[in-house]
């Protein structure tokens, strides 16, 4: 009986050590083991980063005529698609401002432009066409 307990303890200890090693393996640059670059510091002021099913920043302020870049640093495809009001989850416009990046593959990027005649103060909500209400919606505010 004592031998069995020792074998089980040895197996359990080996499993715990293996799991701990996997959990703490952050790769050579200190980033999690994710094929995407999760650093948002280099994204720039006119960039929306999609990471872990979240838009970063969730509320972006942009000037009329600005081209906004979208970086998908998630492991699933996403989009940035305007809607006429929060919770609609269909392509829509606010003050004639409408945009859709189309589906952006993991690690990919897309762009959309704010019209040069966009009215200051306009707030355009957006969502992901792939995940709809599974993701928190974002907003672009015209400054």
Residue ranges covered by each domain of the chain: 1-33, 47-142
Separation of CA 92 from chain center: 21
According to the model, what pLDDT value does residue 20 have?
A: 35
According to the model, what pLDDT value does residue 44 have?
A: 86
Question: β-strand 47-51 against 67-72: which pairing, if any?
Answer: parallel
According to the model, what pLDDT value does residue 89 have?
A: 98
Angle at 40 between CA 127 and CA 45, to 5 degrees: 75
Angle at 60 between CA 118 and CA 76, to 5 degrees: 115
Query: What per-residue string of b and e applies to 97-115 under the rule 16 or more CB within 10 Å gives b?
Result: bbbebeebeeebebebebb
CA distance to 6, 14, 25, 89, 130, per residue, from 20 (Å): 21, 10, 9, 41, 34
As given in the structure block, the two tokens for residue 48 are 């929306």
According to the model, what pLDDT value does residue 43 have?
A: 79
According to the model, what pLDDT value does residue 40 have?
A: 60
- Prediction pTM value: 0.73
pLDDT by residue for the chain (143 residues), tens only, comes to 554 444 344 433 433 333 333 333 333 333 333 445 555 656 789 999 999 999 999 999 999 999 999 999 999 999 999 999 999 999 999 999 999 999 999 999 999 999 999 999 999 999 999 999 999 999 999 99
**3-class DSSP state of 134:** helix
CATH 2.60.40.420 correct for 47-142? yes
**3-class DSSP state of 78:** strand
H/E element holding 48?
strand 47-51
Alpha-carbon distance 98 to 28, whole Å? 42
**3-class DSSP state of 17:** helix
According to the model, what pLDDT value does residue 49 have?
A: 98
């Amino acid at each position: 009986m004592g031998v069995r307990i020792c074998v089980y303890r040895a197996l359990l200890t080996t499993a715990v050590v293996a799991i701990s090693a996997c959990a703490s393996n952050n790769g050579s640059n200190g980033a999690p083991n994710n094929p995407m670059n999760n650093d948002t510091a280099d994204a720039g002021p006119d960039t929306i980063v999609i990471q872990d099913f979240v838009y970063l920043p969730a509320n972006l302020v942009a000037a009329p005529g600005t081209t906004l870049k979208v970086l998908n640093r998630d492991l699933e495809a996403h989009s940035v698609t305007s809607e006429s009001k929060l919770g609609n989850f269909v392509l829509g416009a606010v003050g004639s401002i409408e945009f859709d990046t189309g589906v952006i593959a993991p690690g990919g990027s897309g762009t959309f432009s704010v019209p040069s005649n966009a009215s200051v103060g306009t707030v355009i909500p957006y969502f992901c066409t792939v995940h709809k209400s599974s993701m928190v919606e974002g907003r672009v505010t015209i400054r």
